[in-house]
Structure 1
Amino acid sequence: MTEETHDREAGVSLVELIVYVMLISIVLGTTAMILINSWTTQREVTSVSDATNRGQAMGSTIERAVRNGLAFDIDPTGTELRVRTSLDGNLACQAFLLTNGQARLALASSTLPTSSAAWTDWEQGIQQDGVTPYFADSGQVVTYSFEIRTDSAPVRIAGEVSTRSTPTGVSAPCW
């Protein structure tokens, strides 16, 4: 005689299947959240790094112009810096305009355009660092300060540079 026995342990019950699906869902959900947070953090870090690089390049350009400056002028609002340099060619006359939202740059071998609207669009995302003017001077020293917007906190760029050339005070033929 053969006796048939039904093994209750054979296969997976519905309750076990539901538990397995819930556990897998929790693990996959957690993994997805970690990946999403990692991508978001990476995007923010990349944005800050990019803004830092752009700001340092801007500061370096401003400092080079002033270091080689024979004469410079900052407008009363502190947003515009014009420099007559000892450099040759298109670098002889340089002008920088920083306003909320953008930076503009003008390079010329002689007279700079009077309207800043004709200047080259240099950078975007520029904003004022609190109430500090973009440009200020004290004798032959120029200070600059601005922020660049990023996906997280703004990056603050500031510097101070003095003329290395013997200042002549003569702005012609630049302005």
Structure 2
Amino acid sequence: MSRAYPDDDSSAGLSLIELIIYVLLASVLLGAMATILINSWSTQKDVQTTNEATTRGQLIGQGIERAMRNAQAFEVSTDGTLLRIDTRLDGARRCQAFWMTGGAAYMTTSATSLPAAITTDWPDPWQLGVVQNGTTRFFEQDGLTVAFTFDITTESAPVRFEGEAAMRTPATGGTTPCWP
């Protein structure tokens, strides 16, 4: 007597259609994971460049504010790109200038005087990525106060910086400014 066994395909392995479905599902999952990883790296890069730009902008703003707090006299150039300050930092006279142009901020200090114009003697750029905010001038003088506005470029949107700095004590008139 012969025995009849039911058809059992489980020992036959995967069919071609099942294999194609599994490969497609695995490809979709791997593609989704790769997209998430790439987006995470991109976001991390954006956050890092924004943090770096924020630090650079804060350094510029703090430098301007510190010099202005101790200023005896200051002057903004007619085009609004240069700020010259006759200041008393640490009790000693210091002539300090901030110049913003060409995607960079420059800062120079002298114990005696500043050049009448921007020259090749200026030091290398202090901070990079500094650009004008539209048509707004970098520096605007209003009485004993200077307002500064600039953007720092990043991998994504630029970071905007705006601030004001005022002289704590008006000039006494007995000092000669640091510029001709």
Pair in the same fold by TM > 0.5: yes
CA contact (8 A) 2:73 2:177 kept: no
Which letter does structure 1 place at the counterpart of 2:51?
Answer: S
Which residue in the other structure is 2:167 paired with?
A: 163
Which residue in the other structure is 1:104 paired with?
A: 106
Q: Aligned equivalents of 1:105 and 1:9: distance in 2?
A: 78
Between the aligned residues of both structures, percent identity stands at 46
CA contact (8 A) 2:149 2:161 kept: yes
Which residue in the other structure is 1:12 paired with?
A: 14
Q: Aligned equivalents of 1:91 and 1:47: distance in 2?
A: 36
Which residue in the other structure is 2:120 paired with?
A: 117
For normalisation by structure 2, the TM-score amounts to 0.88
5+ residue gaps, structure 2 = none
5+ residue gaps, structure 1 = none
Aligned-partner SS, 1:9: helix
Which residue in the other structure is 2:96 paired with?
A: 94
Of 158-167 and 88-97, the range deviating more from structure 2: 88-97
- CA gap of 1:75–1:68, structure 2 versus 1, over 3 A, is same
Backbone CA RMSD of aligned residues: 2.2
Q: Alignment partner for residue 145 of structure 1, among 115, 134, 149? A: 149
Of 114-123 and 157-166, the range deviating more from structure 2: 114-123
CA deviations 1:99-123 (Å, max 9, x no partner) are 1311111011111234343222111
- CA gap of 1:32–1:95, structure 2 versus 1, over 3 A, is same
CA contact (8 A) 1:65 1:85 kept: yes
Name the count of aligned residue pairs: 175
Of 115-124 and 77-86, the range deviating more from structure 2: 115-124
Q: Aligned equivalents of 2:176 and 2:159: distance in 1?
A: 36
CA deviations 1:68-119 (Å, max 9, x no partner) are 1000011100000000001248871100001131111101111123434322
Aligned-partner SS, 2:134: coil
For normalisation by structure 1, the TM-score amounts to 0.90
